[in-house]
Structure 1
Amino acid sequence: MSVARPAAAATCFVERDPRVALARRAAVEGIGTLLLMLMVAGAGDAVLRSGGLAGSGPLPGALATSGSLIGLILAFGAVSGGHFNPLITVLQWLAGGRRLDCTIAYVVAQSAGAVAGAMLADALFGVRTQAVAALPFGNPLLSEAVATAGLMIIVFGCSRSGRAQTGPFAVGAWLTAAILATPSGSYANPAVTLGALFTGGPVALSGGSALLYVLAQSAGALAAFLVISIAYPKRSLSLGGAAPTPVEGEAS
C-alpha cells in the first residue's frame, strides 16, 4: 500500500518534481542557457551594429540579461530549477542537495547552451566571432568575484528562505545593479563566460580573460557558500536531483 508523499516546501531554484527524467531537466537547462546567452550577446551585437547608443553604456545588456532571466526562471524553474548557471548547480551539489550525475548533466547542458546561444546571436546580427576584450587584471577580476558572490547569496538566500516567488525578481534586480555598477559588467556565470569566447562585440572575451573570470567567479561562489552556510545553517531540503526519500510501497 502506498503512502502519500508529503508536499515539499515551496522554494525557488529547485525543480518541482525531481522524479522527472534527468534528460528532460538537463535539456531545459540547456535551452534556457541558450536563450539567456542569445539575449546577452544579442544586446551587445545590437549596440555594436548600431554604432553604439549614445549614453546607453551597459544599460541594454543589463536590461536584456535581467529581463530574460526573470522570464526564463518563471518559465522553466518548475521543471529544472531554472539555474542556467553552473555555479548554482555545483553549489547545490556541494550542499548535498543534488546528485553528481544530475550536476554533471546540468553543467554540460548549460555550457553547450551558452556556446550555441552566442553563435546564434552572431549569426542573427552578422557579427564575426572574435575576442575583443583585453586580458583583465586587478579590478575586473575582483569585480567578477564580488558580483558572483552577490548573485549566489541572492540565489541561495531566496531558496533557503522558502519564499518561492522572490527568486526570479531578486536575481534580475541584482544583475541589473551589478551590470551597471561593476567594471567587468558582471558576467557572474561560467557558462556565459564560455559563450563569450564564441561571440564578437562588447561582451566577447579572449581565452585568457575567460579563464581568469571563471576562477574569480568560482572564488566568489565559494565565499557566498560560506556566507549562506552561516546565515542559513544546513537543513533537510528535498532539492531537485536528490534521490527521493523512499516511502512504504515505493521503490527506492
Structure 2
Amino acid sequence: MPSLAQRAFAEWLGTAFLLATVVGSGIMAQKLAGGNGALALLCNTIPTGAILVVLIQMFGPVSGAHFNPAVTLAFALRGETTWSDVAVYVVAQVAGGIVGVWIAHLMFELPVWQFSAAARSGAGQWLAEAVATFGLLATIFGVAAKTPNAVPYAVGLYIASAYWFTASTSFANPAVTIARSMSDTFAGIAPNGVAGFIAAQLIGAALALPLARWVWKRSD
C-alpha cells in the first residue's frame, strides 16, 4: 500500500490538475466563444469530464483518487478510509485546488491572486449543489459495487452531464468550491457564496450514504 505521503501527494497533484483544467478551460472558452455562453460552457464541460477519467485512472491505485473532501468524508463514514487520513487528504485537496487555480492564471498571464465576483447563491443554486453531490456519490458507490473499473468513466460522464442539468453547473466538491472562489474568471464563484455551496454539498453527500447502504449492499 502506498505511504500516507504518497497518497496525500496524489490527492494534491490530482486536485491541482483538476482545477487547472476547470479554470484553464474556462478561460480559454471565454476567449474563444465570442460571448456565446452556451458554447463557453460546453468548452468548459468537455475538458473537465475528460480530465476526471484520466486522473482517476492515474491516481486511483495510489490514493483512491478522491480529489474531493465530500468523497473522502463519505468513504470514511463507510469505513473505507481511515479517519486519521481524512484531515491529511482534505488539506491536500484544498491546497492542490488552489495551486491548480494559480497555475491556470499563470498560464494565461493573469494575476495569480484574485477573487471571483460571480454571484452564485440562493435556494435553487444550493439545491443544485445538493443534487449534484448526491448524484456524484451515488454514481461512485453504485458503479463501484458491480463494475469498479468503470468508475473513472462514470464519474467523468456524470460531471459532464451535471454541468448542464444543474443550475449551479455542478461544483459538487468543497475543495473545488474554495479554489474557484480565488479565480475571477468564467469558472469563478464569489467568496460569499462558498459556505452555502459547501453546506449543500455535504448534505447531498450525507443523503447518498443511506441510499448506498440500502441499494448497493456490500458483501462484508
**What interval of TM-score do these two structures reach, taking the shorter chain for normalisation?**
over 0.9
> Within the alignment, does 1:157 sit opposite 2:142 as a pair?
yes
Alpha carbons of structure 1 residues 32 and 88: separation in structure 2 relative to 1, 3 Å: same
Residues 156 and 228, structure 1, Cα contact 8 Å, conserved in 2: yes
Distance 1:204 1:148 in 2: 18
Corresponding residue for residue 69 of structure 1:
52
Structure 1 unaligned segments of length 5 or more: list them: 1-18, 237-252
Distance in 2, matches of 1:57 and 1:112, equals 27
1:32 aligned residue: 14
SS at match of 2:79: coil
The yes-or-no answer on 1:141 pairing with 2:126 is yes
Q: Provide the C-alpha distance between the structure 2 equivalents of 1:203 and 1:133, rounded to a whole number of angstroms.
A: 9
Q: Distance in 2 between matches of 1:229 and 1:208?
A: 35
1:159 counterpart letter in structure 2 = A
Gaps in structure 2 of 5+ consecutive residues: none
**What percentage of residue pairs aligned between the two structures are identical?**
32
> In the alignment, which of 155, 167, 187 is matched to residue 171 of structure 1?
155
Shift in alpha-carbon separation, 1:221–1:52, aligned structure 2, 3 A: farther
Tell me if structure 1 keeps the 8 A contact 2:145–2:218: no
Contact 1:45-1:127 within 8 A present in 2 as well: no
Structure 2 CA distance for partners of 1:74 and 1:227, relative to 1, 3 Å: same
Count of equivalent residues: 217
CA contact (8 A) 1:45 1:200 kept: no
1:231-252 CA-partner distances (Å, limit 9, x unpaired): 123543xxxxxxxxxxxxxxxx
Taking structure 2 as the reference length, the TM-score comes to: 0.93
What letter corresponds to residue 93 of structure 1 in structure 2?
A: A
Q: Does 1:58 align with 2:41?
A: yes
1:112 to 1:52, Cα distance in 2 relative to 1, 3 A:
farther
From the superposition, tell whether residues 59 and 177 of structure 1 become closer, same or farther in structure 2 (CA, over 3 Å): same
Partner in structure 2 of residue 243 of structure 1: none
Q: CA deviation at 1:63?
A: 0.6
4+ runs of 1 displaced by more than 2 Å? 47-55, 126-130, 232-236
Indicate the RMSD between aligned Cα atoms, in angstroms.
Answer: 1.5
Higher helix share: 2
1:186 equivalent to 2:170? Answer: yes
Matches within 5 A, 1:90-101: 90-101=73-84
Question: What letter corresponds to residue 115 of structure 1 in structure 2?
Answer: I
Deviates more, 1:118-127 or 1:226-235: 226-235
Letter in 2 for 1:167: V
Superimposed CA distance per residue, residues 36-75 of structure 1 (whole angstroms, 9 cap, x where no aligned partner): 0000001111123346463504111211111000001111
CA contact (8 A) 2:177 2:197 kept: yes
**CA distance in structure 1 between the partners assigned to 2:204 and 2:87 by the alignment:** 21
Q: Which range moved further: 106-115 or 46-55?
A: 46-55
- Give the distance between the partners of 1:73 and 1:141, measured in 2 at CA: 27
Cα separation, 2, equivalents of 1:181 and 1:52: 23
Structure whose alpha-carbon radius of gyration is higher: 1
What secondary structure, in the 3-state scheme, does the structure 1 residue paired with 2:189 have? Answer: coil
Q: Which amino acid aligns with 1:59?
A: L
Q: 1:216 aligns with which of 197, 200, 219?
A: 200
State the shift of 1:91 in Å. Answer: 0.7
